[in-house]
Structure 1
Amino acid sequence: MNNSKKVAGLAGVVSVLWMGLTAAVAANQKRLLFNPLGSKREVLKPYSTGHRTRPIVVRAKDGTRLSGWLMTPPVKGPHPGVVYFGGRSEEVSWVARDAGKLFPGMAVLAVNYRGYGDSHGDPAEEHFVEDGRLLFDWLAERHHVDPKRVAVVGRSLGSGVAVQVAMERDAHSIVLITPYDSILALAKRKFKTLPVDYFLQHKFESVKYAHQIKAPAYVLRAAVDDIVPHSHTDQLVQKLGLLHADEIVPDSDHLNIPYLESTQERIASFLASRFNPPAA
């Protein structure tokens, strides 16, 4: 009888601990998923040597202030355009610094998510996607941008935003850097014993939307990635409607991949070939 009571007591303790862990993860999911790290700017004075660079503020539909940078080529347009969506904890001022290598001859819009950098508001999937559509439209409406040649580029967390924006807008091309099938699937992998399906609010289920994307997709994976394992990228790639290429960048990991010269050259080459195809 005593052993039965001990087992029951242990089971009760385990149950309480499990419920406590579940509650803690559920309550802190925004911090765990987004983690904007305050408003620290990665590059103090962002400036692209290949563009005119200016800080901009775009108002979201609900009035929230979104801050970032618009980079335009110094020659007369109309130019092809690119909207960039960053990863978890990523402040996007570095894009303004590297735009000359990443996006030569292209108009580039890089805006921090809500709660990131100087942008106001709280991060959430629905806001990121709604704001992403707004930013795509905003760039396409600039007089110096060709509205029929606007691409989206998403890194890690931002690949989920890029996929949903490309699904609902006429994106010319899409570049996905270390993309995943869904945040839900990654969370279930990380928290195997928790009922993630029931409490995760921001699921970013790219795999559900990928087949609806009509634009050619270019996927770049890190050589070593312990945040988005290749198996989760495989699931997404299999659903993409039009896959241009799926490549692994040598000597890269999940954190350094967008800053590498090899990555930047690959992206620039892909977009240039799409925006300016060789004459038949």
Structure 2
Amino acid sequence: MNTTSKKMAAGMAGFASFLWLGLTAAVAANQRRLVFNPVVTPEVPSPRSSGHRTRPVVLRANDGTRLCGWLMTPHVPGPHPAVLYFGGRSEEVSWVARDAGRMFPNMTVLAMNYRGYGNSHGDPAETHMVDDGCALFDWLAGHGYVDAGRIAVVGRSLGSGVAIQVAKERPAHAVVLITPYDSVLAIAKRRFRGMPIEYMLRHRFESIKYAPALKAPTYVLRAERDDVIPHSHTDELVAKLAQLCGDDIVPGSDHLTIPYLEDTQQRVAFFLATRFAATSIQAALPAAVPPALT
């Protein structure tokens, strides 16, 4: 190789290194958009559940940050079993209030936008989402319309990682995971091959680490076609879930449409109603009478 060729090769290598460093820096600097991509525009302008009393609520996180969302309570006086819903990466949750009558019948429902989403203040972060989720669970458990012993958590996509961590920290009665994943870190490594993602990513959502500790019955729903979370990443999580009750694929669904489909909503409603009813029946049974001593 002559001198000119060596200089060209060195220049190309230097340029490639510059591009790699630049791309690495861009990924590190844009984690908020890449991981969260907050949506502030309401998906449903004036959401109302056909089966609930629906009211907007404003709650304060433990650090005082204002969180906004909706509380849906059944028309019949309670206390009722309850659901705490966690949305996806680019999801504003007003649609849950609209669809709660079909998805969560006869259940009290709390759907709050993450920090930076909808009208909620602050910036999203994994630690904030989990801390806020635990605080919302506690608030819901103390609500007069709620049977504190029967609160389920439901998480979609990114929110499945929040739901798993909240269910690990709080006594969730049941867990529903819609298009869940093993970890955001694993997905990022798949997408950004050759980059030191493990040293850059602050929001890892490593659900696979917490799955074995879940005590609540867990139901998994997958999209038939999912180009965001490949089924292999869901397989890894499912293999670690301690109390897996079902793992279904919703026909005709993809990653974006799955929560809105009637099939999905009926599956979620049936699973939760069955779990809640089983506990209610068990609680109503008389205590066993010990045999008389002879």
Alpha carbons of structure 1 residues 10 and 157: separation in structure 2 relative to 1, 3 Å: same
TM-score (norm 2): 0.94
Q: Which of these residues, 14, 22, 25, is aligned with residue 23 of structure 1?
A: 25
* 1:4 paired residue number: 6
Aligned to 1:57, the other structure's residue is in SS state strand
Counterpart of 1:241, as a letter, is A
Following superposition of structure 1 onto structure 2, how do residues 1-280 of structure 1 map, counting pairs within 5 Å? 1-37=3-39, 39-277=40-278
Amino acid at match of 2:36: F
C-alpha distance in 2, partners of 1:170/1:127? 19
- Distance in 2 (alpha carbons) for counterparts of 1:254 and 1:147: 32
| Code of the aligned partner of 1:148 | G
Q: How many equivalent pairs are there?
A: 279
Match of 2:159, SS state, is helix
Structure 2: runs of 5+ lacking an equivalent = 283-294
What whole-Å deviation, never above 9, does each CA across 1:50-72 have from its counterpart, x for those lacking one?
A: 00000001100110000000000
Q: 1:152-177 CA deviation, whole Å, 9 max, x = no partner?
A: 00000000000000001000000000
Once the 2 structures are TM-superposed, how far is the Cα of residue 2 of structure 1 from its aligned partner? 2.1
Root mean square deviation of aligned Cα:
0.9
Once the two structures are TM-superposed, the CA of residue 279 in structure 1 deviates from its matched residue by 5.2
Residue 76 (structure 1) shift:
1.2
* Equivalent AA in structure 2 for residue 49 of structure 1: S
**Letter paired with 1:8:** A
Q: Aligned partner of 1:67: which letter?
A: C
How far apart, in 1, do the equivalents of 2:241 and 2:135 lie?
Answer: 23
Task: Measure how far apart 1:6 and its partner are.
Answer: 1.4
Output the TM-score relative to the length of structure 1.
0.98
Amino acid at match of 1:245: G
State the alpha-carbon separation in 1 of the partners of residues 269 and 210 from structure 2.
25
Distance 2:215 2:46 in 1: 37
Q: Residue 122 of structure 2 aligns to which amino acid in structure 1?
A: G
Amino acid at match of 2:165: Q
CA-to-partner distance for each residue in 1:100-151, whole Å, 9 max, x for gaps?
0000000000000000000000010000000000011110110120100000
Q: Could you tell me the percent identity over the aligned residues? A: 67
3-state secondary structure, aligned to 1:43: coil
The 3-state SS of whatever aligns with 1:174 is: strand
Give the whole-Å Cα distance in 1 for the aligned partners of 2:253 and 2:110.
25
Task: Give me the whole-angstrom Cα distance separating, in 2, the residues matched to 1:35 and 1:242.
Answer: 32
Distance in 1 between the 2:46 and 2:26 partners?
Answer: 38
Distance 2:175 2:183 in 1: 17
Structure number, greater radius of gyration: 2
**Secondary structure at the counterpart of residue 199 of structure 2:** helix
SS at match of 1:116: coil
